[in-house]
Amino acid sequence: MHPAFSVIFLTTLIGVGQGLFLALFTGQSYSAVELLPSQDSTHFYGIGGFLALLFLIGGLIASVFHLGHPERAWRAATQWRTSWLSREVIALPLLMALVFVYAMMHYFAWDTVLFTSGTGARLQASLVVGTLGVIATFALFLCTGMIYACIKFLQEWASSLTVINYLLLGTASGFFFATAFSAWAAPELMRFYGIWTAIITLAALVTRLASLIRNNRIKHKSSIQSAIGVRHTKIVQKSQGAMGGSYNTREYLHGAPIWMFRSIKWVFLVLVFPVPLALLWLGLAQGSGALLLAGFIVQYIGLLFERWFFFAQANHPQNIYYGAV
Amino acid sequence: MTQLALVIDLNVCVGCSACVTSCKEWNTSGPAGAMSDDNPYGKDPTGTFFNRVQTYEVGSFPMTETVHFPKSCLHCEDAPCVPVCPTGASYKRPEDGIVLVDYDKCIGCKYCSWACPYGAREFDEHEKVMKKCTLCVDRIYDESLPESERKPACVLACPTNARLFGDVHEPESEVSVAIREEGGYPLMPEWGTKPANHYLPRRKTRMHIHEDELVRADNPLKKEERGPSAPVAEPTLDDSTSW
Ligand code: SF4
Ligand code: SF4
Ligand code: SF4
């Protein structure tokens, strides 16, 4: 498939936003049961929540560039019964609304304690909103992944690994951002977030490698024989029904030379996993927010390459009809 | 249930592209608006088409055969492009099985074209909506046309009658008989899309001449003793019949 920059930015930006929100919520729930020191609502959860919202808004803006008629985009919420894309169109604004409420509650200290247990654990109203937000976050990861995984003949995508990778890669980058953010806003949480970032990044490495190995071994079900229905081992296309190319040659082929395609795989493997992990380790060891931020940025750039590769690697069966390109 | 469709006979298609041009002419002049046509006479012409003819060479020289292969939307009975559409712009008409796009609802997200294994949908770069073969829905029911012309433009244009149109669910229709008796097959059956359009394979008409059809075993010439065959005294088949 041809990687569209709008979709690359959409999926990576909302991934960071979702991961960051999960990180904030995890921190708040740990401190509610007094496993972590509690933080200043305004400066940590409030600002953090708004930053997560900014990432989500950035993704939404990127997605607009993908549409031919963005002014009709509201219609895209109507077919949630059958379309994962429609479900995503519902889940994203829902999550944005919940993150907004969550951030407002913290920023303006509108939070109240609903319930205090005998051991001192507190249930705050913001945790209830946050729980709903976590459900929306996971629903959004599921929708984003399923948009790709549900197309069964795009065999590189049609796997549960697609959903798992969206979840883990997005969460890893969000936790990374939370680590860097906490270096400024809540230094006592830095190590907590850093360790989680490392764990999630390593888990993502395992699942992303698993999907690379799976995709290397894929046997494509369609062939030129089944595509035109002629049984012969040697069939060569002589003309494709268009002289200057068509939508079919622009949308479904990545168009990059093979050396570039291959090297982008290594670029993303290096930029998403080892380099950020090394920066994370250094940043934590030196307590340096700048190094942690650099680690996040490197990983985010790596994720752009990762997403490019994700699209480029998917081989659409319609390409069989364009073997002459 | 009615399922209108085309049956395309690869045995007689000569690759003239009359269906391509007549399709574009009919559909670009319709109320739905023009179809993109960029650089039509320049370098690298490109545009939106509902139907394209491709050409394949089967075999290696000298044992080759040229197959012309017209490709348009197959109006799949289990169309994967329809449920994925987030707006409901893509739909399959229950009354006749035609798969259509409502250009006023389409947001141009291109998701449906990802979900069509055949690459039958084309995005219009000027109108920014997804387009595809309509099975000439604006012709086939038009009562102002004489009945013989209530057929898709491509079907009427084909000089070799390689394109048949009709209801593939009606067992005695021209298309059903052709599929049944001439070996009609669907494209990429492995995806379970159940394409309504079918293709008829290349069929060879071979004459088998056996040697005994050239040299008659009971050739009367043997009476003149030219053949080294059976005793002359025995009656031949010709002797005993009244030919
Ligand atoms: S050929 Fe493609 S566009 Fe046409 S109905 Fe089938 S899946 Fe949909
Ligand atoms: S491009 Fe149009 S018809 Fe296709 S899925 Fe998107 S909204 Fe539906
Ligand atoms: S049926 Fe009509 S729209 Fe479809 S390919 Fe033929 S002429 Fe074009």
User: What tens digit of pLDDT does each residue of A151-186 get?
Assistant: 999 999 999 999 999 999 999 999 999 999 999 999
Evaluate: CB of B80 within 6 angstroms of ligand 1: yes
pLDDT band at B145 (very low <50, low <70, confident <90, very high): very high
Ligand approaching nearest to the C-alpha of B52: 3
Evaluate: CB of B82 within 6 angstroms of ligand 2: no
Q: Do the Cβ atoms of A69 and B129 come within 8 Å?
A: yes
Instruction: Identify whether A276 is preceded by a cis peptide bond (ω within 30 of 0).
Output: no
Q: How confident is the model over A27-54, as pLDDT tens digits? A: 999 988 888 888 888 889 999 999 999 9
Task: Provide the shortest C-alpha distance from residue B195 to chain A (in Å).
Answer: 12
User: Alpha-carbon distance B56 to B63, whole Å?
Assistant: 14
Half-sphere exposure of A225 (CA within 13 A, CB side): 7
What Å distances lie between residue B42 and A162, A244, B36, B157, CA to CA?
A: 43, 10, 15, 26
* CB-count exposure of residue A215 (10 Å: 0-12, 13-18, 19+): middle
Instruction: Name, in order, each residue with C-beta under 8 angstroms of A82's C-beta and a sequence gap of 6 or more.
Output: B83, B84
Taking contacts as CB-CB distances below 8 angstroms, the residues of chain B near A77 are 86
What confidence score (pLDDT) does residue A251 get?
94
Ligand 2 atom index nearest CA of B113? 4
Taking contacts as CB-CB distances below 8 angstroms, the residues of chain B near A84 are 84
Evaluate: CB of B116 within 6 angstroms of ligand 1: yes
Ligand 1: residue of B6, B75, B96, B191 to mutate (most ligand atoms within 8 A of CB) is B75
Q: Do the Cβ atoms of A237 and B54 come within 8 Å?
A: yes
Q: How confident is the model over A100-152, as pLDDT tens digits? A: 999 999 999 888 888 888 777 778 889 999 999 999 999 999 999 999 999 99
Task: Determine the residue of chain A that is closest to B60 in CA distance.
Answer: A234
Domains and CATH numbers, chain B: 4-200 (3.30.70.20)
Identify the three-state secondary structure at position B67.
strand
Ligand 3 geometric centre to CA of B42 (Å): 26
Task: Provide the shortest C-alpha distance from residue B180 to chain A (in Å).
Answer: 16
Q: Do the Cβ atoms of A246 and B49 come within 8 Å?
A: yes
Which residues on neighbouring strands pair with residue B37, listed in sequence order? B47
